[in-house]
Amino acid sequence: MDKYICEVCGYVYDPEIGDPDSGIKPGTPFDELPDDWVCPLCGVSKENFEKVIN
């Protein structure tokens, strides 16, 4: 599963970890996050995230 990085603050969404503080379970791919999910660090929307290229 791909990781995504916030272009504003640098937070990396790792689907293997999820976002437990927001109720997102481990194993949740980025494209399955709810439309209203926001960056847990800076609060911007999913549109401000870019796929991490290894």
pLDDT digits (tens, 9 = 90+) for 1-54: 999 999 999 999 999 999 999 999 999 999 999 999 999 999 999 999 999 997
Read off the pTM.
Answer: 0.93
For residue 54, what pLDDT is reported? Answer: 74
Burial of 46 (0-12, 13-18, 19+ CB in 10 A): middle
Cα–Cα distance, 54 to 34 (Å, whole number): 25
Cα–Cα distance, 2 to 42 (Å, whole number): 21
For residue 51, what pLDDT is reported? Answer: 98
Q: Provide the token pair at 33.
A: 């996050």
